[in-house]
A and B are shown apart, each in its own frame.
Chain A
Amino acid sequence: MEHPLLEMTAIRKSFGNVTALEQAQFSLEKGEVHALLGVNGAGKSTLMKILSGVYSQDEGDIKLNGSPLQLRSPKEAKEQGIYTVYQEVDTAIVAELSVAENILLDTFAGGSSFFISQKKLYDDARRVLKELQSDNIAVGQKAADLTLAEKQLVLIARALVHSAKIIIFDEPTAPLSLHESAKLFSVIEGLKAQGVGCIFISHRLPEVFEIGDRITVMAEGKWVQTFDAKAASQEEVVESMLGAKLSNELVHRDHEIGAPQLIVEGLSDEGKLKHLSFGAAAGEIVGVVGLVGAGKTELAKALFGESKLTSGTITLGGRALKLKHPSDAIKAGIALVPEERRKEGLFVQESLSANASFPNLRRFSPKFFMDKRAERAFAKDIIGRLQIKTDNTETPLIHLSGGNQQKVAIGKWMSLDSKLYLFDEPTKGVDIGAKVDIFKLIRQLASSGKSCVYFSSEIHEAIGISDRILVMYNGQIVKEFSRQEATQERILLYASGGKEERSENRQQPERKSHTVSV
């Protein structure tokens, strides 16, 4: 009876008190592409790091071709033929060395012979690149001059030199263009034909279905389900990834929308923003969606008085605002939950109560001296209202999880009666449970008559939470969708600089336009 190429069963791994993996399992056949999916923090990368020898598991077995295996270091994993192509290719590439040297790095770095024959080096490198249909890359040039996609190929080539049995692709397509991704897929097809087992990690569902034979979903450190890619649908996979709880929370609920509250006209700053005009009504959640670098964060900060405006007006509740400093914005009734919460939103070494009271210190020090009892009472109130998981108002925030930290970053504005809440990527690096709580909270704010602007690159989340969606591209608002019109495909098309008329004429299916990113 034939054994599968790789079998990982009942893997458990914990870091301190945190259990990263529990009953995780994974298997891989020869010549198979097995995709691994899950939201951030689901345990994909921990599992893969165990497979590549970076971590060792606390419990569980790894079998290669049926024989048990203990991987104590990345070197041992490589000796067993397990290679990883990381998303951050630059960490694995030596920029100053030539392509050939990079491909054969392990052979001469650990090799026994002192002298290196350049001719042999180049010939070997060329041979491997040819296997990858990539002999257009000159083996003599410096690796620093390669494109990202080419660097990836160099890393794949490096794995092939050692007749890799398993190659782990960790979000390989994230930085690639459509064309480059297509090329990568044909390379992966080639690897399959050679009997190499490929593990493919990606957040883009359509390509997972395109390239994968099987799909395994992980959530919260556990194996959830393994699908046959030919038989499964995207919806099934998404549901298994997010769980019914979140899908349900993402369904829109109607609530009343009041009079216009925020009116922005012709806003430009010294850098990115170009002549933006939009508004938000009381009780309305406006989603501002764009890819990374579209200018969302810049817009959020401009509305909060953090950057210098060159033109335009901001009116809130009928009053024209002149924002020179965030303190002006706070006084005017604006709250910002910034993207980089640890860097910009919180004082992680300080206690929850000190963080929570900070934006409105006057309330907690009516007679100049701090009223620590009032502070603690308010902290308790926030812990209850936002369901923050902590036992103590005085614990430094650094001990809290990302999701709970984010709740504090939001909760600290609750002592002020702000009119407008700006949320910049509030679900970034936050686990599912906390995400649901954050959505609930934003809904509550809206239904109590606050205006919320929700900046996000997670399109499906923005559709779920927003009443109206503005699409940003290159510092401008390029399209507005009502909630009924908004679909992932249409939003993504505009967010990547496209226009609908053109794409409708083209019959070819646009891969990117179907991307679901989770």
Chain B
Amino acid sequence: MKTGSSPKEKAIQFLFKYGAIALLAIIIFYFSTVSDAFLTYGNFSDIMRSISIVTLLALGVTFTLVVDGFDLSVGSTMSLSTVVTASLMVWYDMPLWLVLLLPLLIGVLAGAVNSFLIVVLGIPDLLATLSMMYIVAGLHRTYTEGYSIYNNMPLTSGGTAPGQLSEAFLWIGQGQMLGLPVPVWIMVILVLVSYLILNHTRWGRVLYMTGGNAEAATLSGVNVKKVKFTAYVVSGIFASMAGILFTARVGSGQIDAGAPLMMEAVAAVFVGYSVLGAGKPNALGTFFGAAVIGILLNGLTILNLPYYAFDIIKGGVLVAALAVTYVYAKKKFSKS
């Protein structure tokens, strides 16, 4: 394969390995020539903060895609976690550790239900998590009766809510540390941890191999059901962390916070396939995909492009990334 490849094949190989990075360089170069505000520290720290929540969601999706599953319910889980986080403080005035712990348990539960549907009942992952997407979205609206949750809000039972979002909590979403926003630190740490686990540990190897060939993994002694279960639970936890971060960032419990972010997260993961020729879901690629989309949207905003046209650009980037990945895969695996 490596011997005697034609210029065309070489070009495809090059695109596959460095295409995404080259694209990013071109985008950055272009925007920096048209706007002085673009290539500044402040703007880049803004971009990183804006993609932190999507990246957390996308990391969860990455884990499910690694085991050859798919999680469409992450957006809804994030929405539920957002309103629960806010309500625990505003409605019930709970201590911070409980406020952070309970939403994570909700994420675990959502992941566990997903895996029950997929692993035990055998519903295809796309359909199972689609159903869960609706159920969880409905749950979070029912829970808040359709209202967003904010400090001192009037309650339907009369009076005002007893609690507030605490300063310490808001620091998670709005604070700064060592010159970078706290959400960026959280994102960077989680990306690195995910990368280390997926690419350099025993667990990561088991996850990838299970996704590659579940039957062969079973016959090599892997308990495939447990592995898939874990992946969906991890996905649920990431979604609920994204929800907590969102509440802290915005300072209130918005309803339907996660729904629009879900497809963006999925897009980030797939753009990530094409980074450095991975050809499969990977943590660094996912971060990279989220960054490409974030930087592009930021630049377009600076250019004053109409907001409603942004989805066209997002879709275009996704198509380009997928095209490079799959054209290469077809070439690589067409023989034998």
By a beta-carbon cutoff of 8 Å, the part of chain A in contact with chain B is: 16, 304, 306, 325-327, 329-331, 336, 338, 343-350, 354, 358-359, 361-362, 365, 368-370, 396, 398-399, 412
Contacts and interface: CB of A to CB of B under 8 A. Distances in A.
A347 B218 CA distance: 12
Query: At the interface, is chain B mostly helix, strand, loop or mixed?
Result: helix
B202 interface: yes
A350 B336 CA distance: 15
Interface stretch (B74-82, B208-216, B320-328): B208-216
B2 to A, nearest CB: 9
B333 A365 contact: no
B205 interface: yes
Given A349-B212, A398-B333, A399-B336, A326 B219 contact: yes
B8 interface: no
5 contacts: A345-B219, A348-B213, A354-B209, A370-B201, A370-B204
Interface string B209-234: 10011011111111100000000000
B330 interface: no
Nearest to B203: A368
Contacts of A345: 216, 219
A338 B219 contact: yes
A432 B125 CA distance: 43
B177 interface: no
A23 B333 CA distance: 29
B215 A361 contact: no
A345 B221 CA distance: 11
Interface string B294-336: 0000000000000000000000000000000000000011011
Nearest to A357: B205
Contacts of A370: 200-202, 204-205
A398 B218 CA distance: 20
A327 B206 CA distance: 13
B202 A326 contact: no
Contacts of A350: 208-209, 212
B168 interface: no
Interface string B259-301: 0000000000000000000000000000000000000000000
Q: Which of A306, A361, A362 is packed against the most chain B CB atoms within 10 Å?
A: A361
B222 A327 contact: yes
A344 B219 contact: yes
Contact of A347 (B196, B202, B213): B213
A50 B209 CA distance: 40
Contacts of A343: 213, 215-216
A354 B219 CA distance: 15
Given A326-B221, A330-B221, A358-B209, 9 more contacts: A326-B219, A326-B220, A327-B222, A345-B219, A347-B212, A350-B212, A399-B1, A399-B336, A412-B220
Contacts of B1: 399
Interface of B: 1, 196, 200-202, 204-206, 208-209, 212-213, 215-223, 332-333, 335-336
Nearest to B215: A344
A369 B213 CA distance: 22
A336 B200 contact: no
A396 B336 CA distance: 12
Nearest to B1: A399
Contacts of B221: 325-327, 329-331, 359
Nearest to A365: B202
Contacts of A365: 201-202, 205
A343 to B, nearest CB: 6
Contacts, number: 74
A112 to B, nearest CB: 39
Which 9 pairs between the two chains have the least Cβ-Cβ distance?
A327-B221, A330-B221, A365-B202, A347-B212, A359-B220, A361-B202, A347-B213, A344-B215, A358-B220
A177 B274 CA distance: 54
A398 B336 CA distance: 7
A365 B201 CA distance: 7
B282 to A, nearest CB: 14
A178 to B, nearest CB: 37
Contacts of A306: 218-219
Contacts of B196: 369
A329 B332 CA distance: 36
A231 to B, nearest CB: 40
A326 B335 CA distance: 32
A349 B209 CA distance: 10
Contact of B335 (A16, A304, A329, A412): A16
Nearest to A346: B216
B3 to A, nearest CB: 8
Contacts of A354: 205, 209
Contacts of A344: 215-216, 219
Contacts of A369: 196, 200-202
Contacts of B335: 16, 399
A345 B218 CA distance: 9
Q: Which of B206, B208, B215, B221 is packed against the most chain A CB atoms within 10 Å?
A: B221
Contacts of B206: 361
A412 B222 CA distance: 14
A250 B1 CA distance: 35
A344 B196 CA distance: 28
B294 to A, nearest CB: 31
A362 B206 CA distance: 11
Contacts of A329: 221
Contacts of B218: 306, 325-326
Nearest to B204: A370
Nearest to B4: A17
Given A398-B333, A398-B336, A399-B1, A347 B209 contact: yes
B67 to A, nearest CB: 13
A370 B208 CA distance: 13
Nearest to B3: A17
B194 to A, nearest CB: 14
A15 to B, nearest CB: 8
Contacts of B204: 370
Contacts of A359: 220-221
B216 A347 contact: yes
Contacts of B213: 343, 346-348
Given A327-B222, A369-B200, A370-B200, A358 B215 contact: no
B21 to A, nearest CB: 22
Contacts of B336: 398-399
A181 B217 CA distance: 43
Contacts of A346: 213, 216
A350 B208 CA distance: 10
Nearest to B333: A398
A375 to B, nearest CB: 10
B210 to A, nearest CB: 10
Contact of B219 (A336, A362, A398, A399): A336
